[in-house]
Structure formats: structure tokens, C-alpha cells
Chains A and B, each alone.
Chain A
Amino acid sequence: EAGVAQSPRYKIIEKRQSVAFWCNPISGHATLYWYQQILGQGPKLLIQFQNNGVVDDSQLPKDRFSAERLKGVDSTLKIQPAKLEDSAVYLCASRARSGMNTEAFFGQGTRLTVV
């Protein structure tokens, strides 16, 4: 079974530039999460999708971050404009619909450095 795919693996941009991250979840997984993990901290949930609908985006800085999951499969997370404090690893995870006792699988993440 293919895992969660993310790209790019690394990205360096200047502040005020824009950047986009892509995630392809495990086939058939209805739930998709985007997390931000700052060095030395735990993953912070930015947005959760169920199929192509948003379940929770309460911690997404909507003035600069946006995310979409068209057709309930791939997802894109965008930052525009980026700030220095956005430097972090952005993790995508997916989970089957079948219930809360199922494992969330993580992609390799995208390490963003804003200079």
C-alpha cells in the first residue's frame, strides 16, 4: 500500500513570498490533516478535511494560509505572504473514515525555511 505522498521535501523562500505544498493521501482515506510542526514542538493541527469538506480550520491563520482538497483526494496548502515564523515542517496525514480508533498515517513532510 502506497503511503502519504508530500512534495516538495524542502523549500527555502524569502519572507513575503508565497509557497504551496502538495499532499496525496492513502487511497480511500476520507480524512486528511495538515499539521505545522515547529522545531522542538508537537504537531499543531492547521486544518482537517473529511472528503472535500472542511471539518476544522480553527487554528489556520486565514489571513495568509489557505488549503483546499478538490475532489476529496489531493490537497494543497498555500502560504501567502510567508513570515519568518512560518518556518516549520508541514505534515500531511490521512486516516480512513472507519472510526476514531484508526491510525493516522503521516507523509514525510515539507521542511519550510523562510529567510
Chain B
Amino acid sequence: QKEVEQNSGPLSVPEGAIASLNCTYSDRGSQSFFWYRQYSGKSPELIMFIYSNGDKEDGRFTAQLNKASQYVSLLIRDSQPSDSATYLCAVNIDAGNMLTFGGGTRLMVKP
């Protein structure tokens, strides 16, 4: 079973702080990595994806990938209460487009 692991949280940060969400994966053949946000009672929606080692920035969000360590993270700068949600890490395992999700990390941003 190819695994994607996340700390379930909750991760609590004050408004305006940086939230750091982490994800590890077991399959070294994994090729692309996705961060989804899921509000309570809603479906997951894509924040961003990354497939090259290093950082990728999109507005207040930065994804970081380290394939040697099998580690991907999401940084949220200037966190807002509206960022309070569960963040799901998903890994594309192979060329067959199999998409495996972690258990999610619940983020709480306190005003």
C-alpha cells in the first residue's frame, strides 16, 4: 500500500502568521504532488501542485518539494480565518494517474 502521511492536527495559528503543513510519501516513484483544501461539508478544491524539487509560489501559498527526503510542504503566509479548513496532500503515484490522498491536516486560524 503506497502511503501518504499527514499530521491530523489541529494546527492552530494566529491570524497573520505563517502556517506550515507537511506531508510525507512512501513511493519514490511519485511524480507530482497536489495540495487540496476542503472546507467542512464541502468537496476538495485544488490550491496548487508541484512536480520539481524546490519551491513554487502562488500568492500567499508556497509549495515545497524535496524528493530525496520524500517530503512536500505547504506554507500559507498571512494566514486568515478564512483559511481555516482541512488541507489534503495528494500524490500522483505513476503515469497511470493514480491519485492517493493523505488523511489531511485541520488548520485553525484564530482572529
Contacts and interface: CB of A to CB of B under 8 A. Distances in A.
Interface stretch (A12-20, A39-47, A72-80): A39-47
Interface residues of B, number: 26
Contacts of A43: 44, 88, 101
Contacts of B100: 45
A41 B100 CA distance: 13
Most buried by B among A33, A55, A100: A100
Interface stretch (B59-67, B70-78, B89-97): B89-97
Given A101-B32, A101-B51, A103-B49, A45 B99 contact: yes
B43 interface: yes
A55 B94 CA distance: 11
Contacts of A50: 96-97
Contacts of B22: none
Interface in A78-115: 91, 93, 95, 100-101, 103-104, 106-109
Interface of B: 4, 6, 8, 31-32, 34, 42-46, 49, 51, 88, 90, 92, 95-104
Interface of A: 31, 33, 35, 40-45, 48, 50, 55-56, 91, 93, 95, 100-101, 103-104, 106-109
